């Protein structure tokens, strides 16, 4: 079992490896830059070398990179769309430089201009991105939580996006449990988990599933609310996660927690909870 959390790159990117070890991770996720701004500095060659060396000695992995928050790859507005695609291409390059195998992307919003417009935008962006990939990374599409105007909140929609990309061999999926539940999929019962994963395999195929974001949900099933909760403390609950973690088709994938840190529990506490439920 490979379970980990999102760790900070504050100071220098190689420190992310140290932090992941301190937290007791098997795998981990990072931003390679400030996620809340458009500007970024080029990667420092010494930091890149240190990152790779520490990673090689750590027995941690695979590493997952997450796109920054600002890009909207389905955006109908030209200026924002161009900045968004430029960010995606830059992240592909940064993953290649760092040797990070997975880049997770939110699919964005058509801003009320219609699903067909959003589909054209996102597939155009992904077609540019996959051409850019040399060895790393896989570009992973993350299912959305069913928010208004969002793209890719269900499995057939994600399949349609994948089908619009010519070079599919570096395209995969990151399944977020909170988002799936908020979008209406049942993950709190054994039957529901089985049906949801069967639907994933039918619509997309398990060969495309590379990473799972393991998050409980503050909103109810079908709420459309993208609010993560501590494992077992939300609507999915301990029983749901126990079932998810024991599902044989996905139990060998990297599991990344994006759970809150507060007075109730920290990252280590959530990692411990997942490992107990997985036993």
For residue 191, the domain's CATH number is 3.20.20.150
Structure confidence at residue 72 (pLDDT): 98
Is 53 assigned a catalytic role?
Answer: no
Is 235 assigned a catalytic role?
Answer: no
Which position among 23, 91, 216, 226 bears the catalytic label?
A: 226
Domain count, the chain: 1
Structure confidence at residue 146 (pLDDT): 97
Which position among 136, 157, 176, 186 bears the catalytic label?
A: 176
H-helix segments, 13-100: 15-23, 45-58, 78-98
Which position among 159, 170, 179, 188 bears the catalytic label?
A: 179
Question: Cα–Cα–Cα angle for 205, 211, 213, nearest 5°?
Answer: 115
- The interaxial angle of helices 190-203 and 237-245, nearest 10 deg, is 50
As a whole number, mean pLDDT of residues 245-266 equals 95
As a whole number, mean pLDDT of residues 133-155 equals 96
Is 188 assigned a catalytic role?
Answer: no
Which position among 22, 49, 53, 69 bears the catalytic label?
A: 69
For residue 163, CA distances in Å to 13, 167, 169, 175, 269 come to 35, 10, 12, 18, 40
Structure confidence at residue 259 (pLDDT): 98
As a whole number, mean pLDDT of residues 137-154 equals 97
Q: Model-level pTM?
A: 0.97
Which position among 110, 159, 218, 228 bears the catalytic label?
A: 228
> Beta-carbon neighbour count of residue 8 at 10 Å?
11
As a whole number, mean pLDDT of residues 117-139 equals 96
Residue ranges making up the domain that contains 200: 2-278
Q: What is the distance between the alpha carbons of residues 231 and 167, in angstroms, rounded to a whole number?
A: 36
Is 179 assigned a catalytic role?
Answer: yes
Q: Which long-range contacts (CB under 8 A, 24 or more apart) does 76-82 make?
A: 76/110, 76/111, 76/113, 76/117, 76/118, 76/121, 77/111, 81/121, 81/125
Structure confidence at residue 84 (pLDDT): 98
Q: Predicted confidence band at 92 (pLDDT cuts at 50, 70, 90)?
A: very high
Which position among 47, 93, 258, 266 bears the catalytic label?
A: 258
Q: Predicted confidence band at 3 (pLDDT cuts at 50, 70, 90)?
A: very high
Query: Would you put residue 265 in left (φ > 0), alpha (ψ -120 to 50) or beta?
Result: beta
Is 6 assigned a catalytic role?
Answer: no
Structure confidence at residue 71 (pLDDT): 98
As a whole number, mean pLDDT of residues 117-123 equals 98
Is 230 assigned a catalytic role?
Answer: no
Structure confidence at residue 122 (pLDDT): 98
């Amino acid at each position: 079992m490979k379970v980990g959390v999102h760790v900070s790159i504050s100071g220098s990117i190689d420190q992310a490896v140290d932090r992941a070890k301190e937290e007791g991770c098997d795998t981990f996720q990072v931003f390679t830059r400030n996620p809340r701004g458009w500007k970024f500095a080029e990667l420092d060659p010494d930091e890149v070398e240190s990152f790779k060396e520490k990673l090689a000695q750590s027995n941690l992995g695979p590493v997952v990179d997450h796109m920054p928050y600002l890009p909207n790859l389905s955006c109908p507005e030209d200026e924002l769309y161009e900045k968004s695609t430029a960010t995606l291409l830059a992240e592909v390059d940064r993953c290649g430089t760092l040797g990070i195998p997975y880049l997770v992307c939110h699919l964005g919003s058509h801003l009320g201009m219609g699903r067909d417009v959003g589909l054209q935008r996102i597939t155009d962006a992904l077609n540019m991105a996959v051409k850019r990939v040399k060895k790393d990374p896989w570009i992973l599409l993350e299912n959305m939580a069913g928010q208004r105007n969002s793209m890719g909140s269900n499995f057939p929609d994600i399949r349609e996006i994948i089908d619009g990309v010519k070079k599919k061999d570096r395209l995969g999926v990151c399944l977020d449990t909170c988002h799936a539940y908020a979008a209406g999929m049942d993950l709190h019962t054994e039957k529901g988990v089985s049906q949801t994963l069967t639907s994933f395999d039918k619509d997309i195929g398990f060969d495309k599933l590379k990473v799972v974001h393991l998050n409980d949900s503050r909103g109810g099933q079908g709420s459309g609310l993208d609010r993560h909760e501590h494992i077992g403390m939300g609507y999915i609950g301990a029983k749901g996660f126990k079932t998810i973690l024991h599902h044989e088709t996905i139990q060998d994938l990297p599991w990344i927690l994006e759970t809150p840190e507060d007075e109730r529990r920290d990252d280590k506490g959530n990692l411990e909870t997942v490992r107990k439920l997985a036993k």
